[in-house]
């Protein structure tokens, strides 16, 4: 009797022991797939709103995980956002204040810590850093902004050009690594980074054909006149009517413009390269696939543009913009679906954290704009969806003001590693586990620098709380703007000078000073970065 009991117990131990251990080990060392697109506005993800597009695959992440409705960036522009994500520090400390400043590669980035702690690490897609990533075992990254059609990649073994459409290719590389190159017995960190839907929005030919048939609802503020705003909004160069380019953006061939004359778009020759740069990469078969759609856009333009009013031109440009931008996103969504399917089929899904985000938000015609850079909502906020089976409650929604500054510490925490003391974010783990009580943040800090530069958005820093947004445009001008986020969600009325807000202004100014101190930003640093720029 005793003997058979011991036998039975031994059997149970052998049967369950390793499985239990494995499960515990994998819970504490989950795989992480960090999916980031470039310029993907939250307005164009149906988990947030299906006004513009259905993104059923990206939505799967939120359905099985958490949707953050108030995630935001510290500086709404590409390379600075990536530097913040990798270092867990604001740009005034990591030095990558804009797309042009070099990144000091002696700084610690979170993939290096993963690699040092026995994670396999890989990165595919757009980094946009000016240097190769550190801490990744394998990478294939686009040089700079990269190309949509037949893109070139920088790899450990030199450069290579791959025929096809960039979003599909980045996914092929990612899936290939997951399927064939990864060691199955070690956890991994995968950085899967899309170029789409960055300007100049070249969709794959089939999506191009599909989306040019669609029409999209106009944003309420498409015809914004920038009244009751500061001079930064008035002088920015990102208005659809005035600054969006017919050739580069709206896909009007330079030949069409030349035929129609200089009145359509002055100095059209300058833009020849910006059309044929991206499109000229297509081979004959690819060009044949684009041709019918390009023909119909160009024929319509030639026949109608001369009679169009400014209002009609604005609407036509908006529709063309949305067609290409959303068609590019549709490919991202399909490819996210391919990845999620593989995770399900392979059983990896159970122990893999999947994050979907963008390097910043984007204006989709709100305030008449495209691009980003401003502290205003559409560019300041960014999508964030996180799935972690068994840890994050399915279908949960979080409304806290979390930032890209928090990502590094969150991932390190999730994998049980200590974050360096000088990282400035906070781990989102308590929020992911549904423990909001411990979350104390009431305000976030923002600082944008790239000026003078393309789109001409003036430098500014600011504080954002649930109720207010106070921004200081301190360079070129000395102007303050205050928006009541609850009463004026479209941010159309700067109430900074209104007497009834005087007390709020002085309280927010104190809090902003506090944040600048906490994060070690200062007037001296502001000036140093202006001086550096002018050299
Ligand atoms: C390019 C774009 C700009 C865009 C910047 C920065 N022009 O210069 O519209 O603001 O990139 O974008 S384009 O003619 O090259 O398309 S970022 O996402 O890399 O910061
Ligand atoms: Ca970007």
Query: What pLDDT digit, counting tens, does each position of 467-486 carry?
Result: 999 999 999 999 999 999 99
CA distance readout (Å), 115 to 108, 110, 279, 356, 499: 12, 9, 38, 22, 55
- Alpha-carbon span 494 to 152, nearest angstrom: 45
Task: Report CA(208)–ligand 2 centroid distance (Å).
Answer: 22
Q: Which of 6-15, 108-117, 446-455 has the lowest mean pLDDT?
A: 6-15
Taking 80 as the threshold, does the pLDDT of residue 507 lie above it? yes
Ligand 2 centroid to residue 264 C-alpha, Å: 29
Specify the pLDDT at position 262.
Answer: 67
pLDDT digits (tens, 9 = 90+) for 29-57: 999 999 999 999 999 999 999 999 999 99
Please indicate whether residue 126, judged by its CB atom, sits closer than 6 Å to ligand 1.
no
Report how far ligand 1's centroid is from the alpha carbon of 99 (Å): 9
At 370-385, the pLDDT tens digits run 999 999 999 999 999 9
Q: What digits encode the pLDDT tens for the residues 398-413?
A: 999 999 999 999 999 9
Q: What is the Cα Rg of the chain in Å?
A: 24
Q: What is the pLDDT of residue 198?
A: 98
Q: Ligand 1 pocket test: which of 38, 247, 454, 457 has the largest number of ligand atoms within 8 Å of its C-beta?
A: 454
pLDDT tens for residues 82-103? 999 999 999 999 999 999 999 9
How high is the pLDDT of residue 11? 39
| Nearest residue (CA) to ligand 1, atom 18 | 78
pLDDT > 60? residue 22? no
Q: Are 257 and 264 in contact (CB under 8 A)?
A: yes
Q: Does 418 have pLDDT greater than 80? A: yes
pLDDT higher than threshold 70 for residue 228? yes
Q: What is the pLDDT of residue 269?
A: 55
Q: Read off the pLDDT band of 534 (50, 70, 90).
A: confident
CA of 255 to the centre of ligand 1 (A): 24
Q: Is the confidence at residue 270, as pLDDT, over 90?
A: no
pLDDT class of 15 with cuts at 50, 70, 90: very low
Which pLDDT score, from 0 to 100, does residue 13 have? Answer: 39
pLDDT of residue 2: 44
**Mean pLDDT, all residues of the chain:** 94
Both tokens of 442, joined, read 């009431």
Least confident of 66-70, 274-278, 333-337, 391-395: 274-278
Using pLDDT thresholds of 50, 70 and 90, give the confidence band for residue 267. low
| pLDDT on residue 25 | 46
- For the stretch 345-372, pLDDT in tens is 999 999 999 999 999 999 999 999 999 9
Q: Residue 271: nearest ligand to its CA?
A: 1
Flag whether pLDDT at 217 surpasses 60: yes
- Rounded CA gap, 133 and 139, in Å? 8
Name the residue at shortest CA distance from atom 7 of ligand 1: 199
Task: Grade residue 533 by pLDDT with cuts at 50, 70 and 90.
Answer: confident
What pLDDT is attached to residue 5? Answer: 42
Give the list of residues 6+ apart from residue 301 with CB closer than 8 angstroms, or none.
Answer: 246, 250, 252, 256
> In the chain, what percentage of residues exceed pLDDT 70?
93
Ligand 1 centroid–CA 199 distance in Å is 6
Angstrom CA distances, 199 to 42, 145, 325, 511, 516, stand at: 16, 9, 8, 36, 33
Q: pTM of the prediction?
A: 0.94
pLDDT at 114: 98
Residue 268 has pLDDT above 60, yes or no: no
| Cα 366 to Cα 368: distance, rounded to the nearest angstrom | 5
**C-beta separation of 405 from 424 below 8 A:** yes
Q: Is 199 in the pocket of ligand 1 (CB under 6 A)?
A: yes
- Domains of the chain with CATH codes: 2-79+110-200+327-430 (3.40.720.10), 220-322 (no CATH), 446-534 (3.30.1120.10)
Long-range contacts of 243-248 (CB under 8 A, 24+ apart): 243/370, 243/455, 244/317, 244/321, 244/370, 245/271, 245/274, 246/301, 247/271, 247/272, 247/274, 247/275, 248/200, 248/274, 248/275
Q: Lowest-confidence range among 17-26, 34-43, 236-245?
A: 17-26
Predicted local distance difference test score (pLDDT) of residue 279? 96
Which residue from 38, 79, 128, 145 has its CB within 8 A of the most atoms of ligand 1, so it is best to mutate?
145
pLDDT category of residue 20 using cuts at 50, 70 and 90: very low
Residue 21: predicted pLDDT: 45
CB-CB contact of 141 with 126 (8 Å): yes
């Amino acid at each position: 009797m005793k003997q058979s009991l011991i036998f039975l117990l031994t059997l149970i131990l052998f049967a369950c022991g390793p499985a239990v251990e494995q499960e515990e080990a994998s819970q504490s060392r989950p795989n992480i797939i960090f999916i980031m697109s470039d310029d993907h506005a939250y307005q164009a993800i149906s988990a947030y709103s299906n006004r513009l597009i259905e993104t059923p695959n990206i939505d799967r992440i939120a359905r099985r995980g958490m949707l953050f409705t108030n995630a935001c960036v510290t500086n709404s522009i590409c390379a600075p956002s990536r530097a913040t994500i990798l270092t867990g520090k604001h740009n005034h400390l990591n030095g990558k204040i804009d797309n042009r400043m070099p990144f000091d590669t002696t700084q610690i980035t979170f993939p290096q810590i993963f690699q040092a702690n026995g994670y396999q690490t890989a990165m595919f897609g757009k980094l946009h850093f000016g240097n190769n990533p550190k801490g990744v075992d394998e990478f294939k990254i686009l040089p700079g902004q990269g190309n949509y059609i037949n893109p070139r990649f920088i790899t450990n073994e030199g450069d290579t050009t791959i025929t096809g459409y960039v979003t599909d290719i980045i996914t092929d590389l990612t899936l290939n690594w997951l399927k064939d190159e990864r060691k199955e017995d070690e956890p991994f960190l995968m950085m899967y980074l899309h170029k789409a839907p960055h300007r100049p929005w070249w969709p794959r030919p089939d999506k191009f054909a599909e989306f040019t048939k669609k029409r999209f609802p106009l944003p309420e503020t498409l015809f914004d006149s920038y009244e009751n705003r500061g001079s930064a909004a008035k002088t920015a160069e990102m208005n659809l009517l005035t600054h969006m380019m017919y050739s580069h953006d709206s896909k009007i061939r330079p030949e069409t413009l030349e035929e129609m004359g200089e009145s359509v778009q002055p100095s059209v020759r300058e833009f020849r390269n910006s059309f044929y740069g991206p499109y000229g990469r297509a081979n004959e078969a690819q060009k044949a696939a684009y041709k019918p759609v390009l023909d119909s856009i160009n024929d319509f333009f030639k026949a109608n543009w001369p009679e169009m009013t400014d209002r009609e031109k604005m609407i036509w440009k908006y529709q063309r913009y949305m067609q290409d931008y959303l068609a590019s996103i549709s490919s991202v969504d399909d490819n996210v679906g391919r990845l999620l399917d593989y995770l399900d089929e392979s059983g990896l899904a159970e122990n893999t954290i999947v994050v979907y985000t963008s390097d910043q938000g984007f204006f989709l015609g709100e305030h008449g704009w495209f691009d980003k850079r401003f502290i205003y909502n559409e560019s300041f906020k960014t999508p964030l969806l996180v799935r972690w089976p068994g840890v994050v409650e399915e279908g949960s929604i979080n409304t806290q003001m979390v930032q890209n500054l928090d990502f590094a510490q969150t991932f390190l925490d999730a994998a049980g590693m200590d974050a360096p003391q000088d990282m400035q974010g906070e781990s989102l783990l308590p929020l992911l586990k549904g423990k909001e009580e411990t979350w104390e943040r009431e305000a976030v800090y923002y600082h944008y620098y790239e000026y003078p530069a393309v789109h001409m958005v003036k430098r500014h820093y600011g504080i954002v709380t649930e109720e207010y947004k106070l921004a200081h445009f301190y360079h070129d001008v000395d102007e303050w703007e205050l928006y009541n986020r609850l009463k004026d969600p479209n941010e159309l009325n700067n109430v900074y000078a209104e007497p009834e807000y005087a007390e709020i202004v002085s309280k927010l100014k104190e809090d902003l000073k506090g944040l600048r101190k906490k994060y070690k930003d200062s007037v001296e640093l502001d000036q140093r970065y202006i001086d550096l720029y002018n050299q």
